[in-house]
Amino acid sequence: MKEENLLFQGLLIFALILVNAVFVVAEYAIVRVRSSELDALSKRGNLRAKRAKEIIINLNKYISATQLGITFVNLLIGWIGEDIFIRLLLPVFTAININDSVSQTMSVIVGLLIITYFTITIGELAPKAFAIKKYLSASLWISYPLTIFYKIFKPFIWVLEKSASLIIKMMGISSADKNEVIHTEEEIRQVILEGTKSGVIDKTEQQLIENIFEFNDKQTRDIMVPRNQMIALNIDDSRDTIFRKVTEEGYSRVPVYKDTIDNIIGIIYTKDLVSSAVHMDTIALQDIIRPAYFVSIMKHIGILLKEFQKNKIHMGIVINEYGGVEGLVTMEDIIEEIVGEIMDEYDLETSEIIKLKENQYFIDPIISVKDFNAKFEADIPEDPYYNSIGGFLCKVTGHIPSLYERIDYKNYTFIIYGKIGNTMKQIKVINNNTAV
């Protein structure tokens, strides 16, 4: 009879360990599964998916239920297991002449170690690994059993939740909002990086996501076409001059100024220009000019994008705090910050960096400091007063460098190899350190 009782208790412990495993699977599965995955199954009529969706909507309550189940089962395992191992091991220790009190203590310790081993391996680690790997199927499988358990013990779970909330308040910590899940930008970036390394996310997708994270940090001045590279028409330009500029540059929209570039009076559309030329021998820009949209140089491009979309605008004139023109920005410039350079049939693909020989390069002065640092593994400081290498050299020298002027900065030598007026066109870079 005693042997049958021991066998029953042993089977009961094994069953409780399996029940513990079910609660562990439930806990990890409902935390891991995504609402969008359950929505897709729910739309196809999967009732378990609908039930699982209800669970993750009330995630905190059901996690409390799994914790209650795990704790309760472990207490039962310890209580039953202690009796079994005392009855099994006490005669063994007594037989080797160990006194009763020590024998009983050793029986309890050895018994708890054995139970702990099986509880951790079978009841914790294995089900956790399963739930992490098969979280969707696991969340469907446990949806109804977990719901039944929660409803049975709902009053007790409510008491536990309220008690925990009270303790948190006493510690001066505000309770989290319902189902609040906070992921920092750095955490999300790390997840994306791991996904790229494992092949789940390709390089293009990773770059798009990285660009989106950086998007709202950028201001208009970071993406604009600078003033000295703007193509604009004088309101008093002749017909031939107007058509030459428009056809040479191939832009669909061109700013128009009067007397000076700081006095932008509007924008003309090439289609309007062509249409007027077909019907008239002379072109009067004032008849086809459209209002210009002025943008602060400090405006964040996320806000600017919304303004462009709302007002159906494709080009803005960038001005500083004094009203002076700093450059222009287009919808394409904004979009390129997410998707990268967009080349159309009118764009000529040029390289900003041309390798001459080992450690020597020609670069375009408008290359950004960020891109230069990335390419050459340099540490040229970024500054709000300049964006490009050309601007950096002006800041370092205190003037606009002259043709063939040599500028040394740390391990790099910059030589001005091309200028038109005051505008630098080409810079030779000598890397005095190592090859790029």
Q: Is residue 180 one of the residues assigned to a domain? A: no
71 shares its domain with 137:
yes
pLDDT of residue 88: 72
Q: What mean pLDDT comes out for the span 361-389?
A: 86
How many domains does the chain contain in total? 4
Domain that holds residue 305: 220-339
Q: Is residue 206 one of the residues assigned to a domain? A: yes
Q: Is residue 179 one of the residues assigned to a domain? A: no
What percent of the chain has pLDDT above 70? 90
Q: Is residue 177 one of the residues assigned to a domain? A: no
Confidence of residue 202 (pLDDT cuts 50, 70, 90): confident
130 shares its domain with 239:
no
422 shares its domain with 279:
no
Confidence of residue 340 (pLDDT cuts 50, 70, 90): confident
158 shares its domain with 63:
yes
Of 144, 170, 196, the position where a domain reaches its end is: 170
120 shares its domain with 242:
no
Q: Is residue 198 one of the residues assigned to a domain? A: yes
Say if residue 215's pLDDT is above 80: yes
pLDDT of residue 342: 63
Q: Are 420 and 403 in contact (CB under 8 A)?
A: no
Say if residue 1's pLDDT is above 70: no
Q: Is residue 346 one of the residues assigned to a domain? A: no
3 φ, ψ to 5°? -65, -40
For the segment 31-61, what is each residue's pLDDT rounded down to a tens digit?
888 888 888 888 888 899 999 999 988 888 8
pLDDT of residue 174: 64
For the segment 119-173, what is each residue's pLDDT rounded down to a tens digit?
899 989 999 999 988 989 999 999 999 999 999 999 988 888 888 888 888 887 7
Mean pLDDT lowest among 86-100, 167-181, 243-257: 167-181
CATH of the domain at 320: 3.10.580.10
Of 277, 304, 339, the position where a domain reaches its end is: 339
Q: Which of 100, 346, 257, 30 is nearest to 38 (CA)?
A: 30
Residues linked to residue 430 through DSSP beta bridges, in sequence order: 360, 413
Residue 233 has a CB neighbour count (10 Å cut-off) of 20
